[in-house]
Structure 1
Amino acid sequence: MNAKKTKAMLYKETPSSIKTLDGSELEIVHDFKYLGTWTASTSEKDFNIRKALAWKACNSMDKIWKSNLPRALKIRLFTTTVKSVLTYGAETWTITTKMRKAMDGCYTRLLPRH
């Protein structure tokens, strides 16, 4: 185990430190990124992070949106790239009415207009 890369997240008790067999001390954290999702964050925080990543993905495809490709192909590219970034991990979110409206609005604004 690489103690420099390993972090510990505790559920109830907070010991002063956690040590490996070789005596290295592990960093104790309250939230960390695992498979692209923040573990202890709220659904709203995770959605906001996903929304920013989706905008970044959409903006990086600017040449495609301005190209002469057929609209159907652009929408297919949008669905497979931008939409998948936005909705990654959504099955674990607790979605409120406010969040659903925010997601719908974000999705609509992200759609290519060309």
Structure 2
Amino acid sequence: MNGEPLEETDSFTYLDSTINKHGGPEEDVKARIQKARVAFIVLRKIWRAKQIKTNTKLRIFSSNVKAVLLYGSETWRSTQKTLKRIQTFINKCLRRILHLKWTDKISNITLW
């Protein structure tokens, strides 16, 4: 700009979404999962609280954690890999909210 060459980068952040030079959503999905993980951890006292109903916890999860996770997702090119990463993260969160252990043998289909 103004006669100076532009710096070339592999990725950059625009409107809180990470965009890479190949146009794929991988970096943004990875960043979104990390931000959603932080939001989930911040709310850990709520997930552990016995006096809060499960339905209320799930609503809090949707409005806080899933909102962070899926922000800007309408611009992502959906691939099986991307969808699987998002689904895996959501399933892990739901299992923690519901206090399910892996030994409980609850399928992901039943979880939903």
Gaps of 5+ in 1: 1-17
Out of 27, 32, 37, the position equivalent to 1:50 is: 32
Shift of 1:32: 2.2
Query: Per the alignment, do residues 110 and 27 of structure 1 end up closer, same or farther by CA in structure 2, a change over 3 Å counting?
Result: farther
Greater relative contact order, per chain length (Cα 8 Å cut-off, separation 6+) = 2
Q: Measure how far apart 1:29 and its partner are.
A: 4.8
Deviating beyond 2 angstroms after TM superposition, the runs of 4 or more aligned structure 1 residues are: 25-32, 39-42
1:26-83 Cα offsets, whole Å, 9 max, x none, are: 9735232121101336301110111111111101101111112111110000000000
Cα distance, 1:19 vs. partner?
4.1
Distance 2:35 2:60 in 1: 16
Please point out which of 53, 65, 68 is paired with 1:82: 65
CA distance in 2, matches of 1:55, 1:73: 19
Partner of 1:28: 7
Deviations 1:84-111 (A, max 9, x none): 1111111111111122122211111112
- TM-score normalised by L of structure 2: 0.72
Q: Report the residue type matching 2:63 in the other structure.
A: T
Pick the structure with more helix per residue.
2
Q: Greater Rg, structure 1 or structure 2?
A: 1
Query: Taking structure 1 as the reference length, what is the TM-score of the superposition?
Result: 0.70
